[in-house]
Structure 1
Amino acid sequence: MNDSKVTKEDKIYTVIANIPTGCVASYGQVAVMAGLVNNARLVGRLLKLMPKDSTIPWHRVINSQGKISFAEGTAQYIRQYQLLLAEGIVFKNGKVNMRLYQWQ
């Protein structure tokens, strides 16, 4: 694939698709790994626009404090929380220990 035809979106989705089961990455980390420093907000926007039937593990992207970015108690928050729990990710006081679970 010619690198000039790879879009920012493709780069971001490729990084997210590669986050291993049982690991998380922050929005900023995904941006940096995609070669798009200072584009954490773009990562968030793309996740919002992702098709509902996508198989990309969107749920593994959380904020840099180890928190789910959806408002606590919303359907989206609960869904992401349950998906992460199912992968063995532990929450303490609503946060993931990034030292333990952040993808390296």
Structure 2
Amino acid sequence: MQIRRINPETLATQTGLPVEVVQDLIDRELIGAFAEPGEDDLCELRRVRRLIETLGLSHEAIDVVLQMRRRLVALQREAAQLRAELVERRSAERTMVWIEAEWTEERE
């Protein structure tokens, strides 16, 4: 089985990044050298391009920004999951009917 390497030129064309930047990202292992990039990967690389073009960030700064973004997205997913669980529990509590009673023995 032969594993295909990412072609930096093709990836540069798809993302609008210079070939040197793509190769540097591969060298820094910010993107894999052997995996075929998916749409999420291409979006991430387009983010890199915007960070370079609009803010002039260095590769180190871009790495920090992307890591913070990934963590923020993970926290947003976790918060959404917890909200959904809370809604589910509240709806389950509304369907339950609790009757409190005190039992006493009658003596004859």
- Please, what TM-score do these two structures have when normalized by structure 2? 0.19
Q: Whose relative contact order is higher, 1 or 2, with alpha carbons under 8 Å and at least 6 apart?
A: 1
TM-score w.r.t. the length of structure 1 is 0.19
- Relative to its length, the structure with more helix (as a share) is 2
Bigger share in strand: 1
Q: Decide which structure has the larger Cα Rg and report it.
A: 2
